[in-house]
Structure 1
Amino acid sequence: MFFQRKKTALPEAHEALPGRAGPIATAERHFLNKRPLAGPYPDGLQVAVFGLGCFWGAERKFWQMGEGVWITAVGYTAGFTPNPTYEEVCSGRTGHNEVVKVVFDPAVLPYESLLKTFWESHDPTQGMRQGNDVGTQYRSGIYLQDEAQRAVAERSRADYQQALQQRGYGPITTEIVDAPAFYDAEDYHQQYLAKNPAGYCGLGGTGVSCPIGVGVAAQ
């Protein structure tokens, strides 16, 4: 994680690596709950995708939310290169972000709760970095599945911006865009900190509570 090339500008499409036609190999089941990562998922579940720095620690934040989370998985999105590898993403030449996919039951765990965990688990004002992790793959992002998610995400960004400004933080740099293609990361990245409990996690929040969802506790 520390030795990637320090790329802080997104490439143009013509500069991106070519990638490959088929998906790279990954895990079939979640390391903790053994559910299939690629589904099929039970009826009524929804998907959310977030980028908030190194995806090892980011994924743990969401599986630790417990009831209501069906599976979590890490991968790459919002770039140009089809089916990228970790090394390609870290080169800064794919445009992808390291992200977490959360499959959740909105009847048990509303999207607002996921957003609260998202905002409070990292510093969304840092641009193309998160702490000591520097590069375009560590940018803050919310990747939307539908217009309902857009409305809630944009409102939460505005509310959290106000809260951050009151504590002296600058503008939020989080991108909020329609979800592009999601490419699963390699097997060893999936639930990495469950397999390696003493492994690296570079995430650190601002300590500022996000005012979203009445009665939703901070994670």
Structure 2
Amino acid sequence: MFLTDLFNRKTAMPTAETALPGRADPIPTAEHHFVNGRALKGPFPEGLKTIYLGLGCFWGAERLFWQLPGVYVTAVGYSGGLTPNPTYQETTTGLTGHAEVVMVVYDPAEVSLETLFKVFFEEHDPTQGMRQGNDVGSTYRSAIYTLDDADLDAARAAASGYQKALDAAGFGAKITTEIAPVGPFYYAETYHQQYLAKNPGGYCGLKGTGVACIG
């Protein structure tokens, strides 16, 4: 019974009444990218764009994007929840409502949003709901959070296109990716930032469906 209750708590979104209270001030975090030295919190050069992507555990997900040509800087953090300035330990309870996400700051003249979405959909399983592989909980849900309506429409179109690819491949599951305007983004603790650059042998649970995007 205990394991069932724990699973249900971690996979159910909290309400305003049940969410953890959090704190008024941001938690301490790194100021610069461990790999490229760029400022994690800006200001970023004019013309760059930002999108927030959740693919499960953010360690491996962040590495995918900082290695992509045209990406200026990445950072990991928490978004989509209720608790202000949460800690990692709080998010893993399922009582903050946040997803682990990667902030991707990119140059649209060098890498398209469509390319980012292609990497996003092909490199994890966007059909698993409140989990990603053995990582279970709302914090590991698939998510795309955008800063404007054009990106929101593009994300929905990309999801629709990948659903067609899944259907054509006989995958037999529906995409559960949460697609929404971004709310508050809270930077994760320093040790999470660029974790796999600091710990090359560290855990990475990313596993795609094996289905490629169409087109």
For the superposition of Structure 1 and Structure 2, which TM-score range results when normalised by the shorter chain?
A: over 0.9
Which letter maps to 2:34? F
Which letter maps to 2:51? A
- Measure, in 2, the Cα distance between the counterparts of 1:202 and 1:120: 14
Q: Which residue of 186, 189, 195 corresponds with 1:192? A: 195
Q: Which residue of 1 aligns with 2:40?
A: 37
Matched, 1:57 2:66: no
Matches within 5 A, 1:71-150: 71-150=73-152
- Measure, in 2, the Cα distance between the counterparts of 1:137 and 1:121: 18
Please give the TM-score of this superposition, normalised by the length of structure 2: 0.94
Please give the TM-score of this superposition, normalised by the length of structure 1: 0.93
What displacement does 1:211 show? 2.2
SS of match in other structure, 1:99: strand
What displacement does 1:64 show? 1.4
Computed over aligned residues only, the root mean square deviation of the Cα atoms, in angstroms, reads: 0.9
Structure 1 residue runs of 5 or longer lacking an equivalent are 213-219
Number of matched residues?
207
Deviations 1:156-207 (A, max 9, x none): 1111001111222311000100101000000000000000000000110011
Q: Which residue of 1 aligns with 2:185?
A: 182
- Measure, in 2, the Cα distance between the counterparts of 1:169 and 1:12: 32
SS of match in other structure, 1:13: coil
The farther-off stretch of 161-170 and 20-29 is 161-170
Q: Which residue of 24, 35, 39 corresponds with 1:21? A: 24
- Measure, in 2, the Cα distance between the counterparts of 1:179 and 1:16: 19
Verify the 8 A CA contact 1:128 1:137 in the aligned structure 2: yes
- Measure, in 1, the Cα distance between the counterparts of 2:59 and 2:16: 27
Deviations 1:63-90 (A, max 9, x none): 111x211100000000000000000000
